[in-house]
């Protein structure tokens, strides 16, 4: 006959010693409909029964095999020393009984679901649930019927990132913008950014699926040196030095000068497949003008015709494209 013995630590606070409930649930799960007393519980200290008495109870119950599970989260001294010593003594007392000692709860993957359940029970939403709820709310609050359905994921993610519904009406897309971005991502091409904040916000995990990288050289010493020598901004120089055929998307979220440089370079260079330009710099000086110029170009672009914009908008657009690419693959 086989018995199972659950061992808890035990607490001086009596109402904290609830391992009996776990034992009952375990019994119902492993031996449904069983009326025998084949699952026992014990405590290492502070509560009864202790482990020796519980083992004796199993033997008196006719057990010839006792499976002992330490109901502990980690393999500390109690699990690796104290309980094994008690089991060793019991093996001498009951030579005809087989003792099986299991691993503690540890870091089993199913414990993650338990934690998730506990968080949900507290009324707190998980990050993904918060995001989904936010998208539901913004969809309910605004009419997107006039927006091309293909563009919904991008427009909504920008609004989600900014809490600004104005972007629904000010975002402008080249007819091939989305397709160009998705092709670039799937081809494993790199994303070139004007500033570190844009680079940091792009989802590297999604991009890495296709082997692409995010490039930003604005902090390089050589870029700084050339900026001082020429009077050009570091963003301009960084873009010019790194723009090549391996770049599939250029994301400008801060510097109008960088966007103007991109437009100039793409009009001068005969690139086999021009990159998608996500140009959404924010500000009062040249920001709107640079975006208006971008909106008149023949190469693929995404921009917005207002002074608003910035890193959150650029990052939201690129991450929306990455998510779309991931869902299509």
Give the model confidence (pLDDT) of 144-155 as tens digits. 888 999 999 999
310 φψ region: left (φ > 0), alpha (ψ -120 to 50), beta (else) = left
Pick from 83, 108, 133: which residue ends a domain? 108
Tokens representing 57 are 């109870």
Q: Is residue 202 part of a domain?
A: yes
| Per-residue pLDDT at 114 | 82
Whether residues 103 and 167 share a domain: the answer is no
Q: Is residue 80 part of a domain?
A: yes
| Per-residue pLDDT at 140 | 84
Q: How many domains does the chain have?
A: 2
Q: List the CATH number of the domain containing 56.
A: 3.40.50.1400
Q: List the CATH number of the domain containing 227.
A: 3.40.50.10230
Whether residues 301 and 162 share a domain: the answer is yes
Could you tell me which residues come within 8 angstroms of residue 235 by beta carbon, excluding any fewer than 6 positions away?
A: 194, 195, 218, 254, 255, 257, 258, 261
> Which residues in the chain belong to E strands, given as ranges?
2-8, 39-43, 65-70, 98-101, 171-173, 190-193, 214-215, 247-252, 276-279, 301-304
Could you tell me which residues come within 8 angstroms of residue 192 by beta carbon, excluding any fewer than 6 positions away?
A: 215, 216, 239, 242, 243, 247, 249, 250, 251, 275
- Angle between helix 311-328 and 152-162 (nearest 10): 140
Neighbours of 163 (CB within 10 A): 9
Q: Is residue 302 part of a domain?
A: yes
Whether residues 301 and 229 share a domain: the answer is yes
Q: Name the DSSP class of 250.
A: E
Whether residues 285 and 154 share a domain: the answer is yes
Q: CA dihedral defined by 316, 319, 320, 324, rounded to 10 degrees?
A: 180
Could you tell me which residues come within 8 angstroms of residue 285 by beta carbon, excluding any fewer than 6 positions away?
A: 256
Whether residues 95 and 158 share a domain: the answer is no
Cα of 99 vs its chain's centroid, Å: 43
- Please name which of 287, 280, 277, 267 lies closest in space to residue 311, comparing C-alpha atoms: 280
> 229-257 in b/e burial notation, b at 16+ Cβ within 10 A?
eeeebbbbbbbbebbeebbbbbbbbbbbb
| Per-residue pLDDT at 224 | 92
Whether residues 80 and 174 share a domain: the answer is no
Whether residues 186 and 314 share a domain: the answer is yes
Whether residues 195 and 90 share a domain: the answer is no
Q: Is residue 128 part of a domain?
A: no
For residue 197, give the H/E element and its range.
helix 196-201
Give dist(CA 278, CA 62) in Å, integer: 74
Give the model confidence (pLDDT) of 145-197 as tens digits. 889 999 999 999 999 889 899 999 999 999 999 999 999 999 999 999 999 99
| Per-residue pLDDT at 267 | 94
Domain range for residue 86? 2-108
Whether residues 277 and 187 share a domain: the answer is yes
Whether residues 48 and 190 share a domain: the answer is no
134 φψ region: left (φ > 0), alpha (ψ -120 to 50), beta (else) = alpha
Give dist(CA 171, CA 304) in Å, integer: 4
Contact between 304 and 253 (Cβ < 8 Å) = no
| Per-residue pLDDT at 301 | 98
Whether residues 14 and 89 share a domain: the answer is yes
| Per-residue pLDDT at 64 | 95
Low-confidence ranges of the chain (pLDDT < 50): none
Whether residues 21 and 162 share a domain: the answer is no
Q: Is residue 180 part of a domain?
A: yes
Pick from 56, 81, 108: which residue ends a domain? 108
| Per-residue pLDDT at 196 | 93
Q: Is residue 125 part of a domain?
A: no
Q: Is residue 60 part of a domain?
A: yes
Pick from 78, 108, 138: which residue ends a domain? 108
By annotation, the residues acting in catalysis are 160
Q: Is residue 120 part of a domain?
A: no
Q: Name the DSSP class of 134.
A: H
């Amino acid at each position: 006959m086989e018995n199972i013995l659950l061992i808890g630590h035990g607490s001086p606070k009596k109402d904290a010693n609830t391992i009996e409930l776990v034992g009952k649930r375990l019994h119902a799960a492993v031996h449904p409909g069983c009326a025998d007393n084949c699952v026992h519980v014990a405590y290492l200290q502070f509560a009864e029964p202790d482990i020796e008495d519980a083992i004796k109870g199993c033997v008196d119950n006719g057990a010839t095999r006792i499976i002992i599970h330490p109901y502990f989260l980690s393999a500390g001294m109690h699990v690796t020393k104290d309980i094994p010593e008690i089991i060793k003594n019991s093996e001498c007392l009951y030579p005809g009984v087989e003792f099986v000692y299991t691993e503690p709860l540890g870091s089993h993957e199913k414990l993650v679901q338990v934690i998730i359940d506990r968080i949900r029970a507290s009324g707190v939403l998980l990050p993904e649930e918060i995001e989904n709820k936010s998208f539901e709310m913004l969809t309910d609050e605004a009419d997107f019927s006039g927006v091309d359905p293909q563009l919904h994921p991008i427009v909504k993610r920008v609004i989600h990132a900014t809490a600004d519904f104005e972007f629904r009406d000010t975002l402008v897309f080249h007819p091939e913008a989305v397709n160009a971005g998705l092709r670039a991502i799937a081809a494993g091409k790199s994303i070139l950014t004007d500033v570190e904040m844009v680079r940091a916000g792009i989802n590297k995990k999604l991009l890495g699926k296709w082997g692409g990288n995010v490039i930003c050289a604005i902090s390089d010493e050589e870029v700084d040196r050339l900026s001082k020598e020429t009077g050009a901004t570091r963003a301009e120089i960084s873009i010019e030095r790194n723009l090549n055929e391996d770049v599939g998307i250029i994301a400008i979220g801060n510097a109008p000068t960088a966007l103007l440089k991109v437009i100039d370079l793409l009009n001068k260079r005969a690139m086999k497949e021009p990159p998608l330009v996500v140009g959404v710099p924010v500000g009062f000086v040249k920001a709107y003008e640079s975006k208006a110029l971008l909106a008149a170009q023949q190469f693929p672009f995404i921009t917005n015709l207002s002074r608003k914009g910035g890193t959150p908008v650029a990052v939201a657009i690129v991450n929306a494209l990455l998510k779309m690419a991931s869902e299509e693959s």
